[in-house]
Amino acid sequence: MKKQALFPGIRKPESGRSTGSGLARLLPIFCIVLLLAGCGYGTADMAERTEETVSQGEDVTKRTEWEIVIPDDNYRNYYEIFVSSFYDSDGDGTGDLNGVAQKLDYIQDMGFTGIWLMPVMPSPTYHKYDVTDYCAVDERYGTTEDFRRLAEDCRERNIRLIIDMPINHTSSEHPWFQAACEYLAGLAAGEEITGETCPYAEYYHFSREQENENYYPVTGTEWYYEGVFWSGMPDLNLKNEAVRGELEKAASFWIELGAEGFRMDAVMHYEENDTAFNTEVLRWLYDYCLQQNPDFYMVSEVWAGEKTIADYYGSGTPSLFNFDLADAEGKLIKAARGKYSAESLADAMLLYQEDFSAQNSGWIDAPFLTNHDMGRTANALISDENDVKMAGGLLLTMGGSPFVYYGEEIGMRSKGTKDENKRLSMYWSDTDEMGQTLDPPGADEGIGSAFGSVEEQLLDETSILNYYRRALRLRNENPEIARGTAEKVEALCNEQQAVILKTWEDSSIAIVYNISDEEAEIDLKEGGLEEREIRGNLTLNGEEIVRMQDVLCMPGQSVCILK
Ligand code: CA
């Protein structure tokens, strides 16, 4: 296992940049005094950890690095990639699979242990959520062999690669739909559909009535078809056995190529408002995939409130995206900007645990801040760098498998509600055009970024990127964060601070949050935590968290791990 320095090869922060309060600057000195005095840090784990001295201006700060062992399970830190906007390997302006492969060093170095690729199958649209062939790679993205190589590279790095599986609908250009429409055009007036003559006519929802506003006319016929999202996306009939057979074939195709999980798109729309049917569909496909890979992962999009998400855990599939936490008005971003209390966030964690585990004891929460359908975190937090970091810190100390949308780690911006503006090209560099993709067609120009490029932020240890890196490292160093059973330390929870105990196997940690902008002093004795030692911390700009006797001194917007 490779041990990494916290800020390897990284220069000092620019002078003149605010790095926190007077107390925060003095804290490292207290820290050293305490170390010399033999109190504060314990010695039990000293043998396991390496220490290095990092010079930060006048301060001398002790940093602790722990060995990282990623358990071979489905608790992962996922990075969501829109391939088209990520990294272009061949200079045509469209990101591609080889481009993702070329950025695996970056992804791995950040601390991600999983990748979700948005749809990679052939499609007439830029976003590719309307598929024309479930068993192929879109030629703009590369070939099946490119995918196989990418999957192998990921596996060698212990990164789980999962792909988007949009099965609610196909493209209206899918050969199945085209064949069905051709067949319908040949039917005599009043003649009924027979599956024997054209099985594809039963792959979709055709009707002589325009049953609701989601039905569109089949050109040149008296028939209509269902297309819940738009006319270019006819809904598949997932009750049809032949459709299921086709999708099983697709699942096998991708598993054979090396995909280790699926992200299930638009699950609530398989049949509108039919949770029993929709969970059955998930269960069927998941079971099928498990037969081929016992570690297969599945995470599903049910864009709904907490209770509905809990119902979908009844499918027995491992993960549902936690929409209760996400988006500008979700609990994480609200807490980061001080509009949601730390204690309420702790209560939410316990509520998820209670409600989700009641439906599936093997549940893995899938928290996230934003995805490709939402405005960026930087927009929701009006580009307040500290709040953007805090939102990331809250996300990356949640249980389960957090998902980070590409570009969030540098605080990229979006604009308005137009989807294209939420899927802009990754901002790698101002000076090096290598790999740079074009924005999606139709995106507004000049949206820009409130913060620097990846290249710049890599060099600035106080950047958002390096904050994410520290947070991911903290998460990888402490497997209890993702996997532990949560308990609230009632006595230490209030508006501004919260403490959650996480117990996993025979180990337990306490996660201490100070979400306010102000320093906080937390009396560990009050929470029965005085026997624990500081195991790690996450602060905005590298400020230290210090323990003085039984009091933990935390700078504003910081997180501390006690063990
Ligand atoms: Ca390309």
CA angle 453, 414, 97 (to 5 degrees): 65
Q: With helix as H, strand as E and coil as C, how does 463-480 read?
A: CHHHHHHHHHHHHHHCCH
Out of 260, 301, 460, 480, pick the active-site residue: 301
Task: Give residues with Cβ within 8 angstroms of 303, minimum separation 6.
Answer: 268, 321, 323
pLDDT in tens, 189-229: 899 999 899 999 999 999 999 999 999 999 999 999 999 99
Query: Mapping DSSP to helix (H, G, I), strand (E, B) and coil, where does residue 530 land?
Result: coil
Banded model confidence at residue 354, pLDDT cuts 50, 70, 90: very high
Q: Give the DSSP letter of residue 215.
A: E
Banded model confidence at residue 63, pLDDT cuts 50, 70, 90: low
Active site residue 506: no
Banded model confidence at residue 480, pLDDT cuts 50, 70, 90: very high
How confident is the model at residue 482, as a pLDDT? 98
Q: How far apart are CA 81 and CA 372, in angstroms?
A: 9
Q: How far apart are CA 82 and CA 175, in angstroms?
A: 25
10 Cα–ligand 1 center, Å = 31
125 Cα–ligand 1 center, Å = 16
Q: How far apart are CA 168 and CA 266, in angstroms?
A: 6
Look at strands 507-514 and 534-538 and give their pairing: unpaired
Task: Give residues with Cβ within 8 angstroms of 149, minimum separation 6.
Answer: 101
How confident is the model at residue 323, as a pLDDT? 98
The DSSP code sequence of 28-74 is: HHHHHHHHHHT-SS-STTGGG-EEEEEEETTEEEEEEE------SSS
Query: Mapping DSSP to helix (H, G, I), strand (E, B) and coil, where does residue 350 land?
Result: helix
> What does each C-alpha distance from 367 to 319, 364, 374 come to in angstroms?
10, 9, 14
Percent of the chain at pLDDT above 70?
Answer: 89
CB 87: neighbour CB atoms within 10 A?
24
pTM: 0.89
Active site residue 265: yes
435 Cα–ligand 1 center, Å = 8
Residue from 533, 558, 531 nearest 544 by CA = 558
Residue from 231, 225, 229, 235 nearest 281 by CA = 235
Q: How far apart are CA 290 and CA 402, in angstroms?
A: 22
For 483-510, b where at least 16 C-beta lie within 10 A, e where not — what string? bbebbbbeebbeebbbbbbbebeeebbb
Q: How far apart are CA 376 and CA 293, in angstroms?
A: 35
> What does each C-alpha distance from 93 to 125, 452, 486, 557 come to in angstroms?
16, 21, 46, 39
Banded model confidence at residue 385, pLDDT cuts 50, 70, 90: very high
124 Cα–ligand 1 center, Å = 16
How confident is the model at residue 175, as a pLDDT? 98
Mean of pLDDT values over 341-369: 98
139 Cα–ligand 1 center, Å = 10
12 Cα–ligand 1 center, Å = 36
How confident is the model at residue 464, as a pLDDT? 98
**Amino acid identity, residue 399?**
G
Residue from 233, 11, 251 nearest 130 by CA = 233
Query: Mapping DSSP to helix (H, G, I), strand (E, B) and coil, where does residue 142 land?
Result: coil
Specify whether the CB–CB gap between 559 and 537 falls below 8 A. Answer: yes
Banded model confidence at residue 273, pLDDT cuts 50, 70, 90: confident
Q: End-to-end distance of the chain based on CA atoms, in angstroms?
A: 22
Residue from 370, 372, 368 nearest 380 by CA = 370
140 Cα–ligand 1 center, Å = 6
Which tokens in the block code for residue 271? 């049949």
163 Cα–ligand 1 center, Å = 19
Specify whether the CB–CB gap between 91 and 435 falls below 8 A. Answer: no
93 Cα–ligand 1 center, Å = 6
Out of 153, 265, 456, 533, pick the active-site residue: 265
How confident is the model at residue 128, as a pLDDT? 98
152 Cα–ligand 1 center, Å = 20
pLDDT in tens, 21-61: 334 433 443 333 333 333 332 233 333 344 443 333 333 33
pLDDT in tens, 287-323: 999 999 999 999 999 999 999 999 999 999 999 999 9
The DSSP code sequence of 432-447 is: --TTPPPPPTTPPS--
Mean of pLDDT values over 178-185: 97
Q: How far apart are CA 223 and CA 206, in angstroms?
A: 7
Query: Mapping DSSP to helix (H, G, I), strand (E, B) and coil, where does residue 3 land?
Result: coil
How confident is the model at residue 64, as a pLDDT? 67
pLDDT in tens, 485-495: 999 999 999 99
60 Cα–ligand 1 center, Å = 46
**Amino acid identity, residue 253?**
F
Task: Give residues with Cβ within 8 angstroms of 266, minimum separation 6.
Answer: 166, 168, 169, 229, 301
The answer to whether residue 114 scores a pLDDT higher than 90 is: yes
Ramachandran sector of residue 9 (left: φ over 0; alpha: ψ -120 to 50; beta: rest): left
Rg (CA), the chain: 25
* Cα 181–chain centre separation: 38
Mean of pLDDT values over 77-84: 98
119 Cα–ligand 1 center, Å = 15
Q: How far apart are CA 492 and CA 24, in angstroms?
A: 22
How confident is the model at residue 231, as a pLDDT? 97
Banded model confidence at residue 275, pLDDT cuts 50, 70, 90: very high
> What does each C-alpha distance from 224 to 199, 233, 300 come to in angstroms?
17, 13, 29
**Amino acid identity, residue 296?**
F
Banded model confidence at residue 448, pLDDT cuts 50, 70, 90: confident
The distance between the two most distant Cα atoms of the chain, rounded to a whole number of Å, is 93
pLDDT in tens, 519-538: 999 999 999 999 999 999 99
Mean of pLDDT values over 145-164: 98
45 Cα–ligand 1 center, Å = 48
The answer to whether residue 19 scores a pLDDT higher than 60 is: no
Mean pLDDT, the chain, rounded, equals 90
Residue from 506, 517, 509, 522 nearest 558 by CA = 517
The residue that leads in pLDDT, 172 or 55, is 172
